[in-house]
Amino acid sequence: MSTIREAGAGASKVMPLPARAAANTPMPPEHGIARNPGMKLDLGFLESVRSVNRSALERRAATLTKRRSIKADNQAAWLLRAIACMDLTTLNSNDTDERVRRLCAKAINPLRKEIIEGLGITGETIRPAAVCVYHPFVATAVDALRGTGVHVAAVSTAFPHGLAPLSTRLQEIEASVKDGADEIDVVIPRGLVYGAKWRELFNEIVAMRAACGDAHLKVILGTGDLATLRNVMLASMVAMMAGADFIKTSTGKESVNATLPVGLAMVRAIRAYFEETGFLIGFKPAGGISTAKVALDWLVLMKEELGRPWLEPELFRFGASSLLTDIERQLEHHLTGHYSANHRHAMA
């Protein structure tokens, strides 16, 4: 039987890979990931995963961060992994082309030369996975990042609320793809979840996936607005059935953004979908992830719940703006024993 091997603490566990997935789902990073084609909306399957034990999820989330102690060189290595899984983001009302160019320059050179030399990684390419911007700045980012391997992601579909007519939202996706975006972060109308209008939500996401073409689709649930973990679980599953390549927690604009219990509910939905279909779906927490410590907590959650394959940028991303600065400061502390001032770490 083909398997995904999952490194555990002191031993390795094996997660069975369904036979239908073995032929079309290669493992990262050596190969690409087979895109999720979606499936018919299966309300019976939704019913089978609808039960969510909030207290159990909260207990599990609370213990996850205490089970592993990541120190010294190991911590530095995990923080470098966090950079590689980052969507470096600017989504402000005062964004300009020049600000986006500065952010792209930071993505190309995320660490100062003396940190790179001190860590002994000269010659290695460590960069964020993507730069995430509003549609008007997609062409600017594409031009600045051409040839670097850093993707350009565009937030779309009337971000952050998703309340424009569907035709308008689809046109925005198509415009961003035309300008060169290779990843599209879309938002769902949360009211469809409140009303349990799963067929309508499914159809909208299917249309968004079609509008994306070859660009990858990341579906933002706006979990802080969804009220219950049951809603989070069901919305996650509908998004994956409709063809999402990633599911994402938040826009970063809600009053409550990414939390570990919410993340746990979503990654368990990903696992259930994988067991049902054999397709690997990515996960992106966003909003409030601004320190290296919090980033490590999320990496531990992914490692413990889904295994090593989900520590690659093909399957895991942080939505982050200020996180990179704190990671730089932590890496400098690792090398020198001292924290440097924020102003020594250039950022857009």
Catalytic residues: 185, 248, 284
Contact in structure between 311 and 27 (CB atoms under 8 Å): no
Give the integer Cα–Cα distance in Å for 132 and 202: 25
| CA nearest to 307, candidates 10, 23, 13, 2 | 13
Task: Kindly tell me the burial class for residue 320, based on how many C-beta atoms sit within 10 Å of its own C-beta (0-12, 13-18, 19 or more).
Answer: buried
CA dihedral 142, 145, 151, 153 (to 10 degrees): -40
Residues 6+ apart with CB under 8 A from 337: none
Task: Kindly tell me the burial class for residue 130, based on how many C-beta atoms sit within 10 Å of its own C-beta (0-12, 13-18, 19 or more).
Answer: buried
Query: Measured between alpha carbons, how far apart are the two ends of the chain, in Å?
Result: 49
HSE (CB half, 13 Å, CA atoms) of 14? 6
DSSP SS3 for 48:
helix
Contact in structure between 230 and 49 (CB atoms under 8 Å): no
DSSP SS3 for 187:
strand
Contact in structure between 110 and 128 (CB atoms under 8 Å): yes
Instruction: Copy the structure tokens of residue 89.
Output: 């983001």
* Beta strand pairing call for 12-16 and 151-156: unpaired
